A and B are shown apart, each in its own frame.
Chain A
Amino acid sequence: MVNAITTENVNVFYGDKQAINNISLNFLKNKVTALIGPSGCGKSTFLRCLNRMNDVIEICRIEGKISINDLDIYNDDIEVEQLREKVGMVFQKPNPFPKSIYDNVSYGPKIHGFTDKKTEMDEIVEIALKKAGLFEEVKDRLDDLGTSLSGGQQQRLCIARAIAIKPEVILMDEPCSALDPIATSIIEELITELKESYTIIIVTHSMQQAARVSDKTAFFHLGNLIEEGDTSKIFTKPDNQKTNDYITGRFG
């Protein structure tokens, strides 16, 4: 059981307001970890620290150590673009680029200089789309606009786009909250397949989703990590009363 990402004493501040209080949480390789908690508890903020997306927010300040393969990702030597090649992200609302499906998937490999041969790029795109379970549906219309797909297909396109650059970790910020139940279950099934090759960290509002999809679950509340452990334990007999109360719908 190897850790893909380790975090130690992470504190996050927005100006004077503290959003994350001293959280140390590790993420196992090739497992799905779910982050749950009520609105505003800091789970999305924490997730965005892992690929330094919080860098774009001026007033956001991060303390503590976040390491991937024993390298502190906030180290001055690390180029954030390289980090994001290793740690991909899928967002709540599907956000494919207004370009063709092919260009969407090939954008990442193109800017990271994977290849300039068209045949090799075609292969990369095909493999990524296959892994995202989208290839069969779009193979005849790769030149169509990415935005012309349905919601669930768009989200799978975003997943294909993320895995085309061969990351090690995929971060998902409530990936199904904008999708209907069938599209949701397709994505959940996909997550279960993807964990063979990637480490997945998913923020979700739905406890049922966390229960269905994840191996480990961490419960956040008001910027604190209350409890984390095996998903089956968290949902049948959590150690912390607050966790129990949140899960059973006694607050939140």
Chain B
Amino acid sequence: MQHTDKNYENQINLINEKLVKMGSILELQFSDALKVVATRDQDLANKVVDKDNLINQLNHEISDLAFQIIAMRQPMADDLRFLFCSIKIIRDLERICDHLTTVAKKGYRVSTNIPEQLIEKLEILGNKASVMTHDALNCLFERKLSQADKIAERDDIIDNLHGNFIKDVLSYMKDNDDFIPDSLALIQISKGIERIGDYITNIMEEVHFLIEGKYNNS
């Protein structure tokens, strides 16, 4: 049902639209960043870095708008929960994008003579995180908690994959001295993706509060 006050309805919808926009830019950034890791495309990496501004801008816009609504409208119930959670979620989304930028920046500098399996393992890790992100954003925008358990599982998987990847890189590094700069970059990329997983978990907690009105304390 729509708010009787059309302006109020429009304001709430605007925040939602911007949030959706932020989400779609994020997903694009994710696939681009992973592509940079695979192809070492410098131009694509620059594109990812530039696009980060858009995310920051949307972050500020949504924050200001939410603040205005809280001041002027005394929002209650679902409106209040939506605004409260949006403010927290955009922060996490912005952090995720920062990490993606780092992934891109480190990604194109990695030298091409890295063993393909390592890159592949990184790609798997990245894809898992990307799917997780996609599903979480779906939960948020559809206001449904259907995928919630799977998402929680995936975070554990990502943590494990990351742990294993670090081990693999370290063992490769042992045997190849001149690999150290690259291996540092790879570790940073993996770490970044693992952190993204944590942020997605935070976002899911907020989505739970948005839909259920309380946090999941399991």
Q: Do A and B come from one complex?
A: yes
Chain A interface (Cβ < 8 Å from any Cβ of B) = 207-208, 211, 235-238, 243-245, 247-252
Mostly helix, strand, loop or mixed at chain B's interface?
loop
Q: How far is the CA of A173 from the CA of B214 in the complex (A)?
A: 34
The answer to whether B163 has its CB under 8 Å from any CB of chain A is no
CB distance from B69 to the nearest CB of A (A): 12
CB distance from A40 to the nearest CB of B (A): 16
Residue ID in chain B nearest A243 by CB atoms: B77
Are the CB atoms of A250 and B3 closer together than 8 Å?
yes
Are the CB atoms of B77 and A249 closer together than 8 Å?
no
Mostly helix, strand, loop or mixed at chain A's interface?
helix
Instruction: Provide the residues of chain B in CB contact with A247, threshold 8 Å.
Output: 76-77
The answer to whether B17 has its CB under 8 Å from any CB of chain A is no
**Stretch touching chain A among B39-47, B48-56, B78-86, B176-184:** B78-86
Residue ID in chain A nearest B1 by CB atoms: A250
Contact flag A245-B1 (CB < 8 Å), given A236-B213, A237-B81, A237-B213: yes
Instruction: Provide the residues of chain B in CB contact with A211, threshold 8 Å.
Output: 76
Instruction: Provide the residues of chain B in CB contact with A236, threshold 8 Å.
Output: 76-77, 80-81, 213
Q: How far is the CA of A243 from the CA of B8 in the complex (A)?
A: 18
Are the CB atoms of B4 and A250 closer together than 8 Å?
yes
**Interface size, B (range):** 10 to 19
Contact flag A249-B8 (CB < 8 Å), given A244-B77, A244-B78: yes
The answer to whether B218 has its CB under 8 Å from any CB of chain A is no
Are the CB atoms of A248 and B77 closer together than 8 Å?
yes
Are the CB atoms of A207 and B76 closer together than 8 Å?
yes
Residue among A208, A235, A250, A252 having the largest count of chain B Cβ atoms under 10 Å: A250
Are the CB atoms of A238 and B4 closer together than 8 Å?
no
Residue ID in chain A nearest B213 by CB atoms: A237
Are the CB atoms of B3 and A248 closer together than 8 Å?
yes
Instruction: Provide the residues of chain B in CB contact with A250, threshold 8 Å.
Output: 1-4
The answer to whether B116 has its CB under 8 Å from any CB of chain A is no
Instruction: Provide the residues of chain B in CB contact with A237, threshold 8 Å.
Output: 77, 81, 212-214
The answer to whether B5 has its CB under 8 Å from any CB of chain A is yes
Residue ID in chain B nearest A245 by CB atoms: B1
CB distance from B66 to the nearest CB of A (A): 15
CB distance from A206 to the nearest CB of B (A): 10
List residues of B (109-158) whose CB comes within 8 Å of A's CBs. Answer: none
Q: How far is the CA of A211 from the CA of B77 in the complex (A)?
A: 12
